[in-house]
Amino acid sequence: MSALRVVGATALREWRMWLRYPLFVAAFFLWPVLFGFGLVFTARALAGPEGAAAGFLSSAGTADYATFLALGTATWMILNWSLWVLGMSLRQEQWRGTLEAVWATPAPISLVMLGWAVASSAGSLVGFAVTFLQFDLLLGASWRGNALGVAVVLAASMPALYGFGVLFASLVLWAKEAQAAVFFVRGVFTICAGITYPLSMLPQQMQAFAWWLPMTHMVEGVRLAGLHGAALPELLPTVGVLLAFGAVLVVLGQRALAWCDRRVKTLGTTGVF
């Protein structure tokens, strides 16, 4: 019960702080539009004045690049939230000068992290829906998939995203300034997961590496369900792989956090930045 209170209080505090900044709320709705325009207009320019998507059809198996990009981008938004909100959470507290106070509360830091994860997950799932809706309304994407299948794939991805976010947050607390690391890690995921193109575009070695990342399976599952309408039994292998990634990453994340906890307490560097 007390654990739930810690998680709930942390998540609630984060949401209240986001809502305190109207620009943050505005960005939540505007970013997907901007990002969508960037990608869809790039695709249109590459297709040329005639709008020929023959190349895309042969490489992606569909000429509907708007929906292909919509699902990839909406999934990317979830990763983005995990890295910026959960991954940078400890650093944010450090910047505000509140990290010692949070760390000194009788609540375990792992529960506080779970609170951040809840705040981030809720925001990211709303972001997913908002992104797809805006692609649908403004950029020519069209929904014809299996919504339940997409929901199952996203739910199965959450443990892996949480584990990765905690692992990353621990790394950030060690390295301190890490915005560039966020860009880099996000970039590697963006390239390998095939957010904007079919994986077959990558060289063979990169394709082989890509399948070792949970994000690749997440995007694959979302496209299978959302673009091709795959039924739940067809999605089971992807869901199983995502849950396995989740189990490993949650353990790794908790270990990294425990190591970080010991380190900053021993060295007294909680507030050093």
Partner 1 sequence: MAWRAVVATAVRSLRAYFRYPFNAVMQLFNFVAWLPPLYFLGRAFMVDGSLPGLAAYAGTDDYAAFLVVGWIAAGFVYAAYWGVGFSLYEEMTTGTLEAVWLAPAPRWAVLVGRSVHMLVVTAVQAGVVLAASWLLGVRFAPDAVRAVWVLLPGLVALYGLGLAVAALVLVAKNPNNLIDMVSYGMNFLSGDRVPVASFPAPLLWLALAMPTTYAFDGIRHALLGTTPLLPFWTELVLLCALALLTAGLGWVAFRAADRRVRVGGTLGHH
- By the criterion CB under 8 A, which residues form the site for partner 1? 21, 23-24, 26-27, 30-31, 34-35, 37-39, 41-50, 52-56, 59-60, 95-96, 175-181, 183-184, 186-188, 190-191, 195-198, 201-202
First to last CA, the chain: 34
Q: CB-wise, 31 or 103, nearer to partner 1? A: 31
Smallest gap from Cβ 114 to partner 1, in A, equals: 25
Distance CA(2)–CA(8), nearest Å, equals 10
Q: How far is the CB of 271 from partner 1 (least distance, A)?
A: 12
Residue 111, judged by CB atoms within 10 A of its CB (0-12, 13-18, 19+), counts as: middle
Nearer of residues 155 and 188 to partner 1, judged by Cβ: 188
Q: How far is the CB of 182 from partner 1 (least distance, A)?
A: 9
Of the two residues 6 and 169, which places its CB atom closer to partner 1 in the complex? 169
Q: Is 49 exposed, middle or buried (0-12, 13-18, 19+ CB in 10 A)?
A: exposed
Shorter beta-carbon distance to partner 1: residue 38 or 237: 38
CB of 88: closest distance to partner 1 in angstroms?
12
Q: How far is the CB of 200 from partner 1 (least distance, A)?
A: 9
CA distance 169 to 61: 38
Tracing tokens 């599952």 back to the chain, one arrives at 221
Closest CB to partner 1 among residues 94, 121: 94
Cα dihedral sign, 16-132-246-85 = negative
